[in-house]
Chains A and B, each alone.
Chain A
Amino acid sequence: RKEVEQDPGPFNVPEGATVAFNCTYSNSASQSFFWYRQDCRKEPKLLMSVYSSGNEDGRFTAQLNRASQYISLLIRDSKLSDSATYLCVVTGGSNYQLIWGAGTKLIIKP
């Protein structure tokens, strides 16, 4: 089992719709969680950190479920510019090394 797993997609979603995807992690000792966004052939950029209480930033909401060991990302009122690959990042083990998922590709259609 991979340490961090994501549905590779692609998720094809009409503009204006709401889309959500999850990321599961295997290490119950993981402490920090992040969502990064990566546009095609570009570098990853931090989208948001994921806190235990969940957090919201505009149209984006991230949540953590420690019991089931997954984090989620919800995008409301999706825009064409949201098309990208969304990477889940989790700290693994005692050395706090960052473990990256392979990403979920999102395509927003007009």
Chain B
Amino acid sequence: DAGVTQSPTHLIKTRGQQVTLRCSPKSGHDTVSWYQQALGQGPQFIFQYYEEEERQRGNFPDRFSGHQFPNYSSELNVNALLLGDSALYLCASSLWFGTLAPGELFFGEGSRLTVL
């Protein structure tokens, strides 16, 4: 049973560039959430996707966008990269419980983005 997989694991970009991160959820899960975790901080919620639609969004600018595909996999896109976007980007999968908080999130190992 495959867990949550993310790619790439590490990447380096320069300011102003664009990046796409990918996530495949745990088998049987239908909901994908994306988080940004800066060094020494807790994960910050970016957005959540279910049935190919963004269902919730955290306090992130429009430069952060996403997509969910029919097979439940998801992409996170960040445009016009800033130095402050350097962080670990975590994908979490879960089952959709409507407005209820998921009981457990399963995280991938993350994509570590460095912006120079």
Contacts and interface: CB of A to CB of B under 8 A. Distances in A.
A44 B90 contact: yes
Contact of B107 (A4, A31, A45, A103): A45
B58 interface: yes
A91 B109 contact: no
B43 A100 contact: yes
B109 to A, nearest CB: 5
Contacts of B17: none
A61 interface: no
A30 to B, nearest CB: 10
Given A43-B90, A102-B40, A96 B109 contact: no
Interface in B19-59: 35, 40-45, 56, 58
A37 B43 CA distance: 12
A102 B41 contact: yes
A42 to B, nearest CB: 7
Interface of B: 35, 40-45, 56, 58, 90, 99-105, 107-110
